[in-house]
A and B are shown apart, each in its own frame.
Chain A
Amino acid sequence: MGNRAISSPRLFIECIVVIMSTGHVLLGLLAERPQHGYELKKEHDQRLAGAKPLAYGQVYATLQRLERDGFAEVAETRQEGGPERTLYAITEEGRAELERWLGTIEPPAPYVAGGLFARVAVAGKAADGYLVRQREAHLARMRELTAEKASGTPARVLAADYALQHLDADLRWIETALARMKEEGDHA
Chain B
Amino acid sequence: MLEARGLSKSFGRARALDGVSVEIAPGEVVAVTGPSGAGKSTLLHCLAGVLRPESGEVVLDGRRIDTLGEAELTALRRQSFGIVFQFGELVPELSAVENVALPLLFNRHGRGEAMAAAAEWLERLEVADCADQRIGELSGGQRQRVAVARALVTGPRVVFADEPTGALDTLGGEQVMTAMLGAARAGGAAVVLVTHDNRVAAYADREITLRDGAVLAGVNP
Binding site for B on A (CB under 8 A): 132, 135-136, 138-139, 142-143, 145-146, 150, 164-165, 167-168, 171-172, 175, 179
Contacts and interface: CB of A to CB of B under 8 A. Distances in A.
Name A's interface SS. helix
B219 A132 contact: yes
A150 B35 contact: no
B170 to A, nearest CB: 8
B198 A168 contact: yes
Nearest to B211: A182
B207 interface: yes
Contact of A142 (B35, B202, B216, B221): B202
Contacts of A139: 198, 201-202, 207
Nearest to A129: B218
B204 interface: yes
A171 B199 CA distance: 10
Contacts of B203: 143, 146
Contacts of B74: none
Given A132-B219, A139-B207, A143-B204, A172 B35 contact: no
Contact of B202 (A143, A172, A175): A143
Contacts of A143: 202-205
Given A139-B207, A150-B178, A164 B202 contact: yes
A161 to B, nearest CB: 8
A85 B204 CA distance: 48
B17 to A, nearest CB: 19
A182 to B, nearest CB: 8
Nearest to B171: A161
Interface string B150-184: 00000000000000000000000000001000000
A164 B201 contact: no
Contacts of A172: 198
B202 A146 contact: yes
A165 B35 CA distance: 19
Contacts of A142: 198-199, 201-202
B219 A136 contact: yes
A175 B178 CA distance: 26
Interface in B188-221: 198-199, 201-205, 207, 216, 218-219, 221
